[in-house]
Amino acid sequence: MKVYRTDRAKHRLKAIHDYISKESPAIADKAVRKTVATSRQIAEHPHADRKIPEHQQNDCREILPQPYRIIYRIRSHQIDVLSVMNDRQLLPGDIEKL
């Protein structure tokens, strides 16, 4: 399966990069590359990662490359990365509002 990042996930990843790059552009680039590489690995075993504790849905999972959460939805023909966020941030009550 192919992994796609939603516009929201792309925006969040850019916001993470912009925030980190204020202090260290090199670390910001490395953090984004690591997160993107991790999200590509989801395609190999999409069900291997844990269900999101706050939203126990079978089609939504997360992988935790510290200090981030990559939240994704498994569809029949693709995987959609819904959001990338700091692991200390709280999720909204509705997963569609990530």
For the chain, how many structural domains are there in total?
A: 1
Look up the domain containing 35 and give its range: 2-91
pLDDT at 80 over 90: yes
Question: Is 24 contained in some domain?
Answer: yes
Question: Is 96 contained in some domain?
Answer: no
6: domain CATH number?
A: 3.30.2310.20
Q: Where are the alpha helices (DSSP H) in the chain?
A: 7-21, 25-41
Measured CA to CA, the distance from residue 85 to residue 67 in angstroms comes to 8
Question: Band of the pLDDT at 55, cuts 50, 70, 90?
Answer: confident
Question: Is 52 contained in some domain?
Answer: yes
- Residue-wise pLDDT tens digits, 17-54: 999 999 999 999 999 999 888 888 898 888 989 999 88
